[in-house]
Amino acid sequence: MDCLFCKINNNEIPSYTIYEDEFVRCFLDINPISDGHTLIIPKKHFTDINDIDLKYLCKIQEVSKRIVKLLNDKLKPDGIKLVQNNGVLQEVKHYHLHVIPHYNKNKKNKVEDIYKIIVKN
């Protein structure tokens, strides 16, 4: 399978992973809409909302709360939105949830710098 996110899950492509467990991987988007833009993906391949297993969907939602808290604590955004696209709206045909911080003042830092802020204790 030639899926970008499966390759990230298999460590064939590097990522700025900020959380991982047996079901999901969370990493910073390399073309972020804003500082801290994170993708949550299942470790098993599902194309979209129509075929994802409920167990994985629930785990993604559970982990999204953890990621929102982490981003709030580390980056102090003014708000956060969660976005999940399907069909022609999906750039990568592997189910994923976008966690996108919003800032009243436009911030745009390098992904590497945001990663360092998030992962440091």
Q: Is 98 a residue of the active site? A: no
Instruction: Please provide the CATH number assigned to the domain covering 4-119.
Output: 3.30.428.10
Query: What are 3-45's pLDDT values in tens digits?
Result: 999 999 999 999 999 999 999 999 999 999 999 999 999 999 9
The DSSP call for residue 50 is T
CA angle, 18 then 32 then 119, to 5°? 20
- Reference 60, options 46, 74, 78; nearest CA is 46
Q: What percent of the chain has pLDDT over 70?
A: 98
From the candidates 37, 96, 98, 102, give the one annotated as an active-site residue.
Answer: 96
Q: What is the pTM of this model?
A: 0.93
Domain boundaries, the chain: 4-119
In angstroms, the Cα distances linking 14 to 8, 26, 44, 90 are: 6, 12, 18, 21
Three-class secondary structure of residue 42 per DSSP: strand
The helix/strand/coil state of 10 is coil
